Amino acid sequence: MGLGYTIGCIECVKEEDLDNIENENNNIKGTFFNIHIGGVMLCFCKEQLEKIYGINKKYKRSYRLLSTGDPPDEIYKRIGSATGNENIDKIIYEKISNGYEFTETLGDLPYYCETCKKLCTNFYFQMEKGKDIYTPNYICEKCNNILEVAFPAFAEECSEDFEKINFKINIYEENNLIKLISNGKEKILKCDCCGNEKFSIMECLLTD
Ligand SMILES: [Zn+2]
Ligand SMILES: [Zn+2]
């Protein structure tokens, strides 16, 4: 359902650091990014978003959302937010009251900060009303820059979910190194620790 990648500085981050990264141990010296693409648990289709944001609708779908059976609505109310971002949640509630509806294009995606030369993961979604489409603008926690949503070509399994998005930035893997391309121009990632601009995929995980 989702794909996770750990992308690390090839000089600083070593194979043996992966356990620490997984255990969220922050004693790792080099720069690494955990990126996630696709649906997250209890939030991989728009009906679930509607539940999280308190929209009461009858399901049009004939199948169940989860093979194990749908959890009670209470669970979704308790999740409270798909974005983890108060400002964007505020906009979502405004849009809902203005008649906007979620679309099927949703899920985690990598975001790039041009100033910090870093990647992070945020929850992407769209809301539409007629021809108007709203998509969230996430802000870099470090420099307040508006982050640019990106898609990794190597996450093929998830490409269908996001085929309607016109990504400005695409992430590739070339000769085992990560490459970011925007409008034909290369963007860089940078390690705070050694200044190196070479990063590679250290681990790939299937998530659900
Ligand atoms: Zn930044
Ligand atoms: Zn480094």
pLDDT at 55: 84
pLDDT at 63: 53
> Token pair for residue 179?
């490459």
Identify the domain containing residue 58 by its residue range: 2-207
Q: What is the DSSP letter of 84?
A: S
**Cα 192 to ligand 2 centroid, rounded to whole Å:** 7
Q: What is the pTM (predicted TM-score) of this model?
A: 0.92
pLDDT at 97: 95
Q: Kindly write down the DSSP assignment for every residue of 95-144, as one continuous string.
A: HHHTT-EEEEEEEEEEEEETTTTEEEEEEEEEEEETTEEE----B-TTT-
pLDDT at 24: 74
pLDDT at 62: 55
Q: Which residues lie closer than 8 Å to 126 by C-beta, 6 or more apart?
A: 102, 103, 105, 106, 133, 134, 135
pLDDT at 152: 97
pLDDT at 64: 62
The pLDDT tens digits for 32-50 are 999 999 988 778 888 889 9
Ligand 1 ion: nearby residues, β-carbon < 5 Å: 113, 115-116, 140, 142-143, 145
**Cα 52 to ligand 2 centroid, rounded to whole Å:** 39
pLDDT at 121: 97
Angstrom distances, CA of residue 175 to CA of 112, 146, 154, 198: 21, 30, 13, 11
**Cα 4 to ligand 1 centroid, rounded to whole Å:** 22
**Cα 124 to ligand 2 centroid, rounded to whole Å:** 29
**Cα 145 to ligand 1 centroid, rounded to whole Å:** 5
Give how many domains the chain has, as a whole number.
1
Residues of the chain with confidence (pLDDT) below 70: 26, 58-65, 67, 208
pLDDT at 21: 76
